[in-house]
Amino acid sequence: MIKIFNTMGKKLEELQTVEPNTVKMYVCGPTVYDYVHIGHGRTFVAFDAMVRYLKLRGYNVIRVQNITDIDDKIIKKAQDTGKDWTEIVDFYLKDYIDAMGQLKVEIDQHPRVSTHIKEITEFIQGLINKGHAYVAPSGSVYFDVDTFPSYGLLSGTKKEEWNQGEEFMKEKRHPYDFALWKAWKPGEPYWESPWGKGRPGWHIECSTMSTRYLGEQFDIHGGGVDLVFPHHENERAQSEALLGKTWVKYWVHVSYLTINKEKMSKSLKNIIPLNEAIKKWGTNTLRYWFLTAKYRNTIDFSEDSLSQASTSLRRLKDAMGVLRGIIKAGPKYYSNDEQVKTQRKIISLIQKFHEALSEDFDTATALSYIHEIATIVFNEIQTSEDFMGAMLALDAFRQFNYVYGVMDEEFNLAYDNLNKVIDAVVEVRNILRAKKMYDLSDQIRDVLSKAGIKLLDSKDKTTWRFE
Ligand SMILES: Nc1ncnc2c1ncn2[C@@H]1O[C@H](COP(=O)(O)OP(=O)(O)OP(=O)(O)O)[C@@H](O)[C@H]1O
Ligand SMILES: [Zn+2]
């Protein structure tokens, strides 16, 4: 059983999918007006780990993550830089797609607002027809919050507390009504609509595109915690007003990545671009670091915490090197009592790993069990050369990697031949060492190290791992 924390109702709930064995997930993606940063990376990788765990547990998962390519901030950036808004969007969209690819975040559909205007205007028309929205004299369309009695249930915010700024007060029925369609102003991009030239408001895009790709009811709708109000509250109001039923089953929100205890944010100008971070620390270390924290806890950036993550991941790779050596030596036909005890410990740690991930995708606790297995590898399996223990530990690491995606090189079939070549080189080096030709054997170690392969010499054996 998988439990998931639902922001709606603020409690852990058992995952019961709308369609059997299928999880449909919509994550609010970036507004492409600046470099994608590691704060976004944290949220998108957190959902990635959820997707991977659900797949490991046998679910089909469909993940849709939108791209906001029309927005006040994009228009402002275009005006400030004297560029066309499409140029801004193309540039930062590429930056985002590159980063997601490098970070190994798998997304099935990336719908863009600008390619869904027809669907958005139909959604808005539906709301007008049902009396939930009204057209103001300017041609802007607003959602009439008073027509949706359960407004505020998701975030716990009272509509009266929402101060929307003065600009549109005059034409709105209530200060808390929000824009579905914004009438055109000179200098802004526009599309034709039944209410004249204009562009969509922010919230309506996600209601429209999620429903289009995932249906009128889907399982998980997520994003960072900053989206609970007003974005998700408004999305829910629009969607349930139009569809007349519960729209999303589980609302899931990831806490902030902070820097100096402040939210990392484009608007606060304290960002570390994701692509720079990938270059500096590498995909594996970054993913690992993101997942060392439970997704509902804040993670604070520091160079130190990243270097700790790197060391800690290296420890797991070292353990893999040990396992590889033992397994390569071939099966044993008997396990002694101590070895059987070790094997049972590993089986129970694998169960705990699953329990942690099943309890609201607790990647932090699950990771601690994988490290306990690594300790067993170093302290017990390595010395007793326990083949079955090594096989069980390898399986634990394979499942771990399926979810965390931080040591693919170790498992990727494409690396099989490379593994054989490295084994052969290590064997030649062992012969050289046996003949006390240390100069040459050290040279081999250095050359391999330059190629990202680290040799680990112990008493009478050499294991290796990818850096
Ligand atoms: N510092 C952060 N930590 C975790 N998630 C974040 C952070 N900043 C943004 N996100 C999440 O990333 C997704 C895309 O965000 P979007 O581009 O709308 O960012 P934003 O909040 O407007 O960014 P910014 O605050 O940097 O201008 C959203 O789900 C948002 O909640
Ligand atoms: Zn959204």
Residue 202 in this model has a pLDDT that exceeds 80:
yes
pLDDT for 164 equals: 62
Residue 379 in this model has a pLDDT that exceeds 80:
yes
Residue 28 counted as an annotated binding residue: yes
Instruction: Give the integer Cα–Cα distance in Å for 265 and 301.
Output: 13
First vs last C-alpha separation in the chain: 36
pLDDT digits (tens, 9 = 90+) for 36-62: 999 999 999 999 999 999 999 999 999
**Closest among 265, 245, 244, 254 to 220, alpha carbons compared:** 254
pLDDT for 165 equals: 61
CATH 3.40.50.620 given to domain 18-301? yes
Do 387 and 326 touch, CB atoms closer than 8 A? Answer: yes
Residue 269 counted as an annotated binding residue: no
Pair of tokens at residue 436: 């006390």
- Ligand 1 centroid – CA 143 distance (Å): 24
pLDDT for 160 equals: 80
pLDDT for 134 equals: 98
pLDDT digits (tens, 9 = 90+) for 223-282: 999 999 999 999 999 999 999 999 999 999 999 999 999 999 988 999 999 999 999 999
Ligand 1, atom 2, residue with closest C-alpha:
39
Distance of CA 108 to the CA centre of its chain: 13
Side by side, which strands form the sheet with 248-254?
A: 60-65, 22-27, 218-224, 248-254
pLDDT for 277 equals: 98
Residue 413 in this model has a pLDDT that exceeds 80:
no
pLDDT for 267 equals: 82
Residue 11: phi and psi, rounded to 5, are: -150, 165
Residue 1 in this model has a pLDDT that exceeds 70:
yes
- Ligand 2 centroid – CA 206 distance (Å): 5
Residues 287-300: what's their mean pLDDT? 98
Average model confidence (pLDDT) across the chain? 95
- Ligand 2 centroid – CA 449 distance (Å): 45
Return the exposure string of 50-63: e unless at least 16 CB atoms fall within 10 Å of the residue's CB, then b. bbbbbeebebebbb
User: Which amino acid, residue 143?
Assistant: F
The atom of ligand 1 lying closest to the CA of 266 is 26
Q: What percent of the chain has pLDDT over 70?
A: 98
Q: What percent of the chain has pLDDT over 90?
A: 86
Give the burial class of 223: count Cβ atoms within 10 A of its Cβ; 0-12 exposed, 13-18 middle, 19 or more buried. Answer: buried
Residue 227 in contact with ligand 1 by CB distance below 6 A = yes
Pair of tokens at residue 347: 């089986």
pLDDT for 168 equals: 62
Pair of tokens at residue 429: 């080096």
Residue 414 in this model has a pLDDT that exceeds 60:
no
Ligand 1, atom 10, residue with closest C-alpha:
40
Instruction: Give the integer Cα–Cα distance in Å for 195 and 197.
Output: 7
Ligand 2 ion: residues within 5 Å (CB): 28, 206
The atom of ligand 1 lying closest to the CA of 227 is 31
- Ligand 1 centroid – CA 356 distance (Å): 27
Domain ranges of the chain: 18-301, 313-466
Instruction: Count other C-beta atoms under 10 Å from residue 329's C-beta.
Output: 12
pLDDT digits (tens, 9 = 90+) for 72-107: 999 999 999 999 999 999 999 999 999 999 999 999
Q: Which residue has the higher pLDDT, 168 or 400?
A: 400
C-alpha dist (Å) from residue 425 to 394, 429, 440: 23, 6, 12
pLDDT for 460 equals: 75
Ligand 1, atom 14, residue with closest C-alpha:
30
Do 18 and 24 touch, CB atoms closer than 8 A? Answer: yes
Residue 321 in contact with ligand 1 by CB distance below 6 A = no
Residue 459 in this model has a pLDDT that exceeds 60:
yes
Instruction: Count other C-beta atoms under 10 Å from residue 93's C-beta.
Output: 18
Residues 408-426: what's their mean pLDDT? 80
Residue 289 in contact with ligand 1 by CB distance below 6 A = no
pLDDT for 111 equals: 98
Ligand 1, atom 27, residue with closest C-alpha:
266
Q: Which ligand is nearest to the CA of 64?
A: 2
